[in-house]
Amino acid sequence: MKDAIKQTLNEFHLRHTSCREEVLDSFFSANYALGHHDIEEGLKDNFDRVTIYRTLKTFVDKGILHKVLDDEGGLKYALCREACAHNHHRHDHVHFKCEQCGQTTCLETTHIPAVELPFGYSRRETNLLIQGVCPLCNK
């Protein structure tokens, strides 16, 4: 696991800091999207909010993480998978939030259908959050 973290930081030419390593570790260990609170709770060392915020912003800018809109107006983050090359991000997948366990997951292979916009509107990004019950809670 640690190797994957070092490899990722090297691959994106990022300096290794304990905050970056620990934040990445949280994302590699969880296979669902994490919010600020989840991230803070999962860190072994105490980093101030600004440091964590900057780390997340760097990861989003570099294309290691992408933002996931939550219901209740919150924001979560998820790892960019194979679909994202370094300079070509594809986040046209659906996010699913389970109402029972509260976890939000990237449905990588479920694409958001094309939506026509009225004249004069230009799209920057599209988000689709589906809420319901996940397979684990559906058992």
- Name which of 123, 132, 73 is nearest 105 in CA terms: 132
The smaller minimum CB distance to Zn ion, of residues 18 and 86, is found at 86
Does 56 help bind Zn ion (rule: CB under 5 A)? no
- Name which of 94, 90, 89 is nearest 69 in CA terms: 94
Does 34 help bind Zn ion (rule: CB under 5 A)? no
- Name which of 32, 75, 36 is nearest 53 in CA terms: 36
CB of 85 to Zn ion, least distance (A): 9
> Whose structure tokens read 């669902």?
32
Does 89 help bind Zn ion (rule: CB under 5 A)? yes
Cα–Cα dist 98/89, whole Å: 25
Does 60 help bind Zn ion (rule: CB under 5 A)? no
The smaller minimum CB distance to Zn ion, of residues 34 and 80, is found at 80
Residues that bind Zn ion (CB under 5 A): 63, 66, 78, 80, 84, 89, 98, 100-101, 106, 134, 137
